[in-house]
Amino acid sequence: MTTEPELNTLLANEIPSFLAYLRVEKSASPLTLIGYQTDLDQYLDFLAGFHGLEKTALSVSAVTNLSAREYIVQMFNHDLSRATIARKMAALRSFVKYLCRENLLAGNPITNVSTPRQEKRLPRFLYPMEMRMLIAAPDTKSPSGLRDKAILETLYAAGVRVSELVGINIDDLDCKEGWIMIMGKGRKQRMAPMGAKCKRAIAAYLDKGRPVLLSRSSQNTPALFLNKSGGRLTARSIRNILNKYVEQLAIHQKVTPHTLRHTFATHLLNNGADLRSVQELLGHVKLSTTQIYTHVTKDRLKTIHEENHPRR
């Protein structure tokens, strides 16, 4: 016997349960949970205005096809990018599916609501010469310089996300064989090759850099990359470190840790790596996520043709 959905259940009360579900069942990262929390809080703000109710008075029945469409319209009116709208709608869709799963909604009211098609943006990347200059920028006479060089080498050699980089522990390294065990999205593990130059940079940091940084802390942290106080570096700290060297070199484009991940993938493909291998190295679940880099290589081929063909 199927029980009737409890349409009077308050929406705000279900968000903590939904986030707990994501954390336990889907192994969602802390950053993902914070993002979903923020997006759903903003959706409730809209919904309260749309229905003329307090946020705390909104029941699950307030989630309708019409309100979802109007939510998209409002986001467009506030000049949010298509990527941001798509992300917020993904959070909402996931939440509504959870409500259906918990039998709080009889059917999914937003199934037929279309998410705006996103613009296809080619990933930014650095050219090999720029990458060599960036990696050579840290002063390796200091502990922090040894650390920074090892960080840059790891980002470029392993193509890791910044969240993955700061999560690396000493025990994740196999320096003899040249591998790093990476904990990726959804708690999925993969092995990333260091490469000879990255291996040497990490070895130098472990020998003369990390012990000095660790001595400044009263705790023996397992983290590979340490801050000036001997604690684990944060993603923000990595971005600040990268920004320092980008400004120092006067590289005239925005460079983030993810730019180095794009650079890693682009350089592999430009030098003949196959798409499936790059997909595995990046830790992408879907090949379509990796395929954006083929556009970069096609653009490069077109440029080479235009610059070198006698009848261009």
- Tens digit of each residue's pLDDT (9 = 90 or more) over 205-234: 999 999 999 999 988 999 999 999 999 999
Confidence label for 297 from pLDDT (cuts 50, 70 and 90):
low
**At residue 1, does pLDDT exceed 50?**
no
Please tell me the predicted confidence (pLDDT) of residue 215.
Answer: 95
Least confident of 5-9, 60-64, 252-256, 258-262: 5-9
Q: Which residue out of 185, 190, 200, 208 is catalytically annotated? A: 185
| Class of residue 101 by CB neighbours under 10 A (exposed 0-12, middle 13-18, buried 19+) | exposed
| Class of residue 31 by CB neighbours under 10 A (exposed 0-12, middle 13-18, buried 19+) | exposed
- Which tokens is 115 given? 């998410």
Residue 223 dihedral angles phi and psi, to the nearest 5°: -60, 145
- Count the Cβ atoms, other than its own, within 10 Å of residue 151: 27
Please tell me the predicted confidence (pLDDT) of residue 221.
Answer: 94
**At residue 31, does pLDDT exceed 60?**
yes
Given a contact cutoff of 8 angstroms between Cβ atoms, the answer to whether 244 and 255 are in contact is: no
57 beta partners: none
**At residue 203, does pLDDT exceed 90?**
yes
Residue 190 annotated among the catalytic residues of the structure:
no
Kindly list the structural domains of the chain, giving each domain's residue range(s) and its CATH number in brackets, ordered by start: 11-101 (no CATH), 128-307 (1.10.443.10)
Residue 293 annotated among the catalytic residues of the structure:
yes
Residue 51 annotated among the catalytic residues of the structure:
no
Q: Per-residue b/e over 104-124, b at no fewer than 16 CB within 10 Å?
A: bbeeebbeebebeeeeeeeee
Could you tell me the pTM of the whole model? 0.67
Given a contact cutoff of 8 angstroms between Cβ atoms, the answer to whether 133 and 268 are in contact is: no
**At residue 235, does pLDDT exceed 80?**
yes
Q: Which residue out of 88, 161, 262, 267 is catalytically annotated? A: 161
Of 109 and 287, the one with more pLDDT = 109
- Tens digit of each residue's pLDDT (9 = 90 or more) over 82-114: 889 999 999 999 999 999 999 999 889 999 998
Confidence label for 252 from pLDDT (cuts 50, 70 and 90):
confident
Residue 78 annotated among the catalytic residues of the structure:
no
Number of separate helices (H) and strands (E) present in the chain: 14, 3
Concatenated DSSP letters of 161-214: -HHHHHT-BGGGEETTTTEEEEE-GGG-EEEEE--HHHHHHHHHIIIIIHHHHH
Of 179 and 28, the one with more pLDDT = 179
Percentage of the chain surpassing pLDDT 70? 92
Q: Which residue out of 71, 98, 205, 293 is catalytically annotated? A: 293
Confidence label for 271 from pLDDT (cuts 50, 70 and 90):
confident
Of 207 and 285, the one with more pLDDT = 207
Residue 239 annotated among the catalytic residues of the structure:
no
Q: Which residue out of 149, 199, 261, 267 is catalytically annotated? A: 261
Residue 309 annotated among the catalytic residues of the structure:
no
Indicate if the alpha-carbon torsion angle 247, 248, 250, 253 is positive or negative.
Answer: negative
Please tell me the predicted confidence (pLDDT) of residue 2.
Answer: 47
- Which tokens is 172 given? 């994740």
